[in-house]
Amino acid sequence: MSTVAPADRERASILRLRGVERHFNEGASRLTVLSGADFDLYPGELVALAAPSGAGKSTLLQIAGLLEKPDEGEVIIAGRAAGKLSDADRTAIRRVQIGFVYQFHHLLGEFSALENVVIPQLIRGLSKPVATQRAMQLLNYMRVKERASHRPSELSGGEQQRVAIARAVANAPRLLLADEPTGNLDPTTAGYVFDGLTRLVRASKLGALIATHNHDLAARMDRRITLQGGKVVELE
């Protein structure tokens, strides 16, 4: 069950999709992926996006993360309508408000775990001492602080993904979007990674939308949604 009281939801929504449409032309045919999709995500909430391959999970995440524009409808991030903004404005919102975690960690191989978490903060304009202190706090929170000086190739798969999560939230975003973040991990390691992610979401009041095929992890989240006929549908 969601941690946000119903009366607070209208005010508290971090991500709101309203009437989102996304279509692709394939020769003379038109493929509809999203058709009037509506969805709300709230602070401190983890929502599992569980749908078959090809149902549109990645498209939904791309649109929610302002990486792709909807053909129709609106995407509202922390109260700001963002679906139709310029590319520059959308990039500015992504840099501050949204963190991304993917199935593959995409850490920079030539840098240490600590440096991978520091770099996004430097790009945003924080000083190196401040960025380093926050990076160490996040690595400690994800229980990989003792691996801070190690490069990605020296880390296990679970450690790499925990560093990737720390990097994703380094700039204190309001929204976290994850696409199969434990897809390459064994069940035990996936559980450790998910536990760390849950701690971060609860403590920071992030809203997290997580696409996953892992039914056990999906069952541990506050809500589960799927895509049917291009619409977002709540699962029991």
Q: Where are the alpha helices (DSSP H) in 37-173?
A: 57-64, 87-97, 113-124, 128-141, 157-168
Does 35 fall in a domain?
yes
Look at residue 34 and tell me if it is in a domain.
yes
Per-residue model confidence (pLDDT) at position 151: 95
Give residue 35's Cα distance to chain centre. Answer: 22
User: In this structure, is residue 109 part of a structural domain?
Assistant: yes
Q: How confident is the model over 111-153, as pLDDT tens digits? A: 999 999 999 999 888 999 999 999 999 999 888 999 999 999 9
d(CA 57, CA 33): 9
Q: Closest Cα partner for 72 from 15, 18, 14, 25?
A: 18
Q: What is the CATH number of the domain that holds 159?
A: 3.40.50.300
Has residue 125 been placed in a domain? yes
How many of the other CB atoms lie within 10 Å of CB of 220? Answer: 13
Is residue 42 a contact partner of residue 12, using CB atoms and an 8 Å limit? yes
User: What per-residue confidence (pLDDT) applies to 11?
Assistant: 52
Cα distance between residue 185 and residue 24, in whole Å: 32
Higher pLDDT, 24 or 12: 24
Output the pLDDT for position 6.
Answer: 45
- What is the per-residue pLDDT across 36-59, written as a single tens digit (0 to 9) for each? 999 999 999 999 998 877 778 889
Label residue 26 by pLDDT band (50, 70, 90): confident
Position 7 scores a pLDDT of: 43
Residue 42 lies in a domain: yes
Chain segment 63-80, per-residue pLDDT in tens: 999 999 999 999 999 889
The pLDDT of residue 1 is above 50 = no
Q: Which residues contact 166 (CB under 8 A, 6 or more apart)?
A: 117, 135, 138, 139, 141, 142, 144
Which residue range is the domain that position 196 belongs to?
A: 15-234
Does any domain span residue 6? Answer: no
Considering its fold, how many domains does the chain have in total? 1
Q: Is residue 9 part of a domain?
A: no
pLDDT at 8: 47
- pLDDT of 154 reads 95
Model's pTM, two decimal places? Answer: 0.87
Q: Average per-residue pLDDT in the chain?
A: 88
**Alpha-carbon 197 to chain mean position:** 10
What confidence tier does 216 reach under pLDDT thresholds 50, 70, 90? confident
Question: Nearest CA to 186 among 210, 160, 158?
Answer: 158
**Contact predicate 48/212, CB 8 Å:** yes
Asked if residue 173 belongs to a domain, the reply is: yes
| Confidence check: pLDDT of 2 > 70 | no
Residues 149-197 have pLDDT tens digits of: 999 999 998 899 889 999 999 988 999 999 888 877 888 888 888 888 8
